[in-house]
Amino acid sequence: MKFGVVIFPGSNCDQDVIEVLSRTSQKPVARLWHKDHDLQNCDFIVLPGGFSYGDYLRSGAIARFSPIMQEVIAHANKGGYVLGICNGFQILTEAGLLPGALLRNIEQKFICKNVYIKPETNTLLPTRHLDMNKAYQIPVAHGEGRFFADTDTLKQLNDDEQVMFRYSDENGDTNACYNCNGSLESIAGISNAGKNVFGMMPHPERAADLELCNVAGLSIFESILDSVPA
């Protein structure tokens, strides 16, 4: 399994993801520049967090048209794995690879803090080896993280086990009062219908090092690595 991390102008979490993936997989991780048309034979593509193209227009709206995204879209449509974190999630919705949209936070403020998320299914690569009864403390840092979708889309996401995470308290209670940004049904992460494209607003790469006193996010990367061929 070869990982590649796309770097857009304004990406600021690319090196964090590269470091975590390199450490956990013990293999080099390819850096994929936004102007390129070559995925370097990567099997799993990560779109990192940040402020691609300065977040002008809607977050992710310009990055969606980067040359590399033509290849990412083709890769995903062929069943290849793609993970979008924060701004990467926004880009995936703009590209139509994930349903729904990410709107301005309900209080119209940028949020940067630790939150808890609870896995909702073990049928997806990032959650396959997570404890379904446990809440994971993962930081968020976004201004447009409020997940929105129409009624039919929400029903499909729930019926087909495409909801990956919901915001919760430390005990896994997903009551709306623990929803940090107003996302519908406290949704913090989803997959596509094919279950090969994943998006989440929290930053697991920022919670994957003992020096940060939090390794909860490492479990998500380990779940991915344990679930796919070496």
Specify whether 205 is catalytic. yes
Specify whether 86 is catalytic. yes
- Residues 205/42/12/77 CA torsion (nearest 10 deg): -90
Specify whether 213 is catalytic. no
In whole angstroms, give the CA distance from residue 222 to residue 201. Answer: 18
Contacts of 129 (CB under 8 A, 6+ apart): 122, 219, 222, 223, 226, 227
With beta carbons less than 8 A apart as the criterion, state whether 140 and 201 touch. Answer: yes
In whole angstroms, give the CA distance from residue 139 to residue 117. Answer: 10
Write the DSSP symbol of residue 121. Answer: -
Enter the tokens of residue 217: 């996010």
Enter the tokens of residue 60: 């992710």
Which member of 86, 94, 142, 222 is catalytic?
86
Which member of 42, 120, 203, 222 is catalytic?
203
Catalytic residues: 86, 203, 205
